[in-house]
A = this chain, B = another copy of it.
């Protein structure tokens, strides 16, 4: 039989998280206050503690949601005949994910909440995302680990640069595509020389 209580509880948790995302998107990540959040869902601040054990736990749940969403998108990427297309779509996916919600990116990729450390579960998903990328890279023939670091550095660098200034989609896609060309050009040259 359905546990209606548990269902309602989960629904309320989801409602709190939705409200938190809204506030965070509107007012900024670190500006989020439990009293504001509680008011938005029609509660008093301490009542939130029956759903989350702390403010950090809320951030953690949001972090987890963000990671799951990002992983989902990576896994939803179509298969490409040309590896160049795969690199391109990967880069665009990440920069797009960052630009479309800078507060989320700040939570997930910059360590901008003072004492916050993600839980093991949340961290696990983040690791899975990176591992997935590493594996795809291997299958595409990029085997040196430094090249993966170079890649993540470039892509995240472009992403953060975009949210630092006012991001312009047409502009950053062009930049991202050029970065991909640059990167692939580089590793192909090295392969060429190695032969």
Contact = CB atoms under 8 A, between A and B. Distances in A.
A153 B149 CA distance: 14
Contacts of A146: 174-175, 178
**Highest count of chain B CB atoms <10 Å: which of A31, A182, A189:** A182
Contacts of A28: 114
Nearest to A174: B146
B164 A149 contact: no
| Interface pairs A-B: 8 shortest CB-CB | A157-B157, A182-B186, A153-B158, A153-B157, A112-B112, A30-B114, A153-B161, A156-B157
6 contacts: A112-B112, A150-B175, A150-B178, A153-B161, A153-B179, A160-B160
How many copies of this chain sit in the oligomeric assembly?
2
A146 to B, nearest CB: 6
A65 interface: no
Nearest to A147: B178
A152 B160 contact: no
A111 interface: yes
A61 interface: no
Interface in A129-175: 146, 149-150, 152-158, 160-161, 164, 174-175
B153 A175 contact: yes
A50 B146 CA distance: 51
A21 B165 CA distance: 27
A114 B31 contact: yes
A156 B114 CA distance: 22
A181 interface: yes
Interface in A176-190: 178-179, 181-183, 185-186, 189
